[in-house]
Chain A
Amino acid sequence: MRTTRNDRILLAHGGGGQLMDDLIRHHILPSLKNDALAGLGDSARLNLASSSVCFTTDSYVVKPLFFNGGDIGKLAVCGTVNDLAVAGSKPVALALSLIIEDGFEFEFLDKILTSIGQAARRSNVEVVTGDTKTVEAGAADKIFINTAGIGQTLAGVDLGFEKIAVGDKIVINGTIGDHGMTIISQRADIKFESQLKSDCAALAGLTCELLENTTGIKFMRDPTRGGLAATLNEISRSTGLSIEVRETDIPIKPVVQAAADMLGFDVLTIANEGKFVAIVSPESADECLNISRNHPLGADAQIIGEVVETHDVPLVELETRIGGKRIVQMPYGRELPRIC
């Protein structure tokens, strides 16, 4: 079926007139239904119990817009929710901005909005305010999304680099590289592409459960762009401590490994969208692992290594499968454009 201009976004949909009103009332509001948004005020009012809030923002430009395991809408919600979650907060509200290219099909826009709504409901956050702009064909690539989010800091939780000490364990909630390899493979059009699936998921349920039931978590981060390698290096640089991880303990799906080998990537540097790295005291590591493994998003959780003394310069070192050692560098070069 050929699409007509009526099935597509027009520049005028961003113009503030009747078309814009239609777009908001007939496409956006139904997907995101909630009281705060329904008022269509210029800003949302939030009543927060805690005086400590976390606040974050991120823009999403992933290409392709739809991929196995998610789409740009789900990613835009999960990504921002995860940034709030690993900061030790319970996400409450999101702001959503859409920048849409003239000619973008409503069919796809509706799909994206539906998945934004679903992802938000699943992670118990509401989209309370938003904005839509349209730009001329060629001025954007189909659709770009920005989300900002607010979370309430969990009582008694105070995470930070400065709490990390020698002997702390490094916990990850599952396999690495799934999101990045899915996107890269879809673009590179490789054979077993269909077996790859992004791990895109909102982690707040699991992180809140962990933080509310254990005391030993000192720091958390979601290893998105740059993958596990970037996150571990950041921790090492910020603390001045070194890190040792074991290759055999790092969970990687065989199909992800195969795709990475084929295309010449190191899985450690590949992006994740549903993973956290937690630095936990040795006493509470097993408890964290158990809680994680009983949660659907942590079934493959593992303790992958430890924080160790620095001898010379802070380093992240990997004990390889054959018992050798090598450095894990901050990823460089080979930039992967538009993975999230």
Chain B
Amino acid sequence: MLDRINKAQKLINSACEALGRRIDIMEVCGTHTVSIFRNGIRSILPESLKLLSGPGCPVCVTDQGYIDTVLNLADRNDCIIATYGDMIRVPGKDHSLETKQAKANVKVVLSSEDALQLAKDNPEHTVVFVAVGFETTAPATAVVVREAAAESIDNFCVLSGHKLVVPAMRALLSGKNDNIDAFLCPGHVSVIIGYGAFAEIVEDFNRPCVVAGFEAVQIVDGLAEICRQLSTGKAELTSVYSAVVSEKGNIAAQQIVDECFEPVDGYWRGLGKIERSTLRLNDKYGQFDAFKRFDISETPSEERKDCRCGEVLCGLIDPPVCGLFGQTCTPQEPVGPCMVSSEGACAAWFKYGREKIHKR
């Protein structure tokens, strides 16, 4: 393994030297962020190569308005909120779901199946499943929606905040941060959508997109491939994860998502409104759409001024630049979602980073 790392490292070093400028590579997946930190990958890269943690953590990119909507639903006596654990500590306007957990109508679930089961077990309540996540988790939500329809479990509904990765990458390059030189693309999302989905980024923006797995070697290989492309000046779409990822992806998973959802314009933290970037249940399954059931219109609400998660998610600043980092904002008492989620950039910097080494 060390041989492979050394080889990749040499390639990266010589490419960076030849380019003679700062290179910004963005990973758009929280699992990559964590693995990069946990394996100390930044510490073996040349100074001029900068890794940016993009909008790849589902909890982090979720807009404040959505979170406030969930908090409002949690106040109703006729609802049970079923949510993944990471979501529960995200601060809303004046509190988080955690503070409402005592009221016992907020339940942490490990899977969408658990959420549906909760509905079956509590027929007198409406169970609202807080469905966040990217293309990797949307199929699991679709499966239970179909199941709920087939079994007529009417007290189940989904507040879908599912997001799509590619529109966010487009939004970044179209104005939020066009300094990004290349993307390290997530392996597991690619398994679902196929690496072909990133072709439009390469074609429309001329940026290398390289799909990599989550092990240290795979990430370093991916970075080496990006550096190779940058030094030749030709952006390509490559997968260094090819054993698992195909160009077209998992058709069955895509079909079930298409059957239940349609892409609509949606709000992202830091990135604002992005066209066709969010999945909403379509008319066929409209009765399970919590937005419709409770007549909620998704409106963006103000983010805290002092929390700079938005800029962090766009790769504009490193977390330690935020004045609250490590001071008033820590994993024990997070101010913003990037510190709450174990996949958030702020949490990773706090947990694994030696701020002074990495702060540039």
Q: A interface vs B, CB < 8 Å?
A: 264, 266, 312, 315, 317-327, 329, 332-334
Residue B251, interface by CB 8 Å = no
A326 to chain B, nearest CB (A): 4
> B1, A321: Cβ atoms under 8 Å?
yes
B254 to chain A, nearest CB (A): 26
| Complex Cα gap A13–B356 (Å) | 61
B122 to chain A, nearest CB (A): 22
Residue of A whose beta carbon sits closest to that of B217: A322
Chain A residues with CB under 8 Å of B356's CB are 312
> B216, A320: Cβ atoms under 8 Å?
yes
- Please pick, from A315, A324, A334, the residue contacting B44 in the complex, using a CB distance under 8 A: A324
Residue B233, interface by CB 8 Å = no
6 contacts between A and B (CB under 8 A): A264-B342, A321-B216, A322-B41, A326-B37, A327-B351, A327-B353
B97 to chain A, nearest CB (A): 16
> B354, A315: Cβ atoms under 8 Å?
yes
B346 to chain A, nearest CB (A): 13
> A326, B39: Cβ atoms under 8 Å?
yes
> B331, A333: Cβ atoms under 8 Å?
yes
Residue of A whose beta carbon sits closest to that of B351: A329
Interface 1/0s, chain B 301-315, versus A by CB < 8 A? 000000000000000
- Please pick, from A317, A320, A327, the residue contacting B39 in the complex, using a CB distance under 8 A: A320
Chain B residues with CB under 8 Å of A327's CB are 351-354
Indicate whether A322 sits within 8 Å of B216 (C-beta atoms), given known contacts A315-B354, A327-B352, A332-B330.
yes
> A324, B354: Cβ atoms under 8 Å?
no
Residue of A whose beta carbon sits closest to that of B31: A264
A191 to chain B, nearest CB (A): 14
- List residues 327-355 of chain B with CB under 8 A from any CB of chain A: 330-332, 342, 350-354
Residue B5, interface by CB 8 Å = yes
> B40, A325: Cβ atoms under 8 Å?
yes
| A-B residue pairs, 5 tightest by C-beta | A324-B40, A326-B40, A320-B40, A324-B43, A326-B352
Indicate whether A323 sits within 8 Å of B353 (C-beta atoms), given known contacts A264-B342, A266-B38, A332-B331.
no
Residue B104, interface by CB 8 Å = no
Please name 8 further chain A to chain B contacts, defined as beta carbons within 8 Å, in addition to the given A320-B216, A321-B216, A325-B43, sorted by A numbering.
Answer: A319-B40, A322-B217, A326-B37, A326-B43, A326-B352, A327-B354, A329-B352, A334-B342
Chain B residues with CB under 8 Å of A264's CB are 342
Residue B42, interface by CB 8 Å = yes
Chain B residues with CB under 8 Å of A334's CB are 342
| Complex Cα gap A334–B144 (Å) | 28
| Complex Cα gap A322–B217 (Å) | 8
| Complex Cα gap A325–B40 (Å) | 5
Chain A residues with CB under 8 Å of B42's CB are 324
Residue B80, interface by CB 8 Å = no
| Complex Cα gap A327–B217 (Å) | 20
B340 to chain A, nearest CB (A): 9
> B342, A322: Cβ atoms under 8 Å?
no
> B352, A322: Cβ atoms under 8 Å?
no
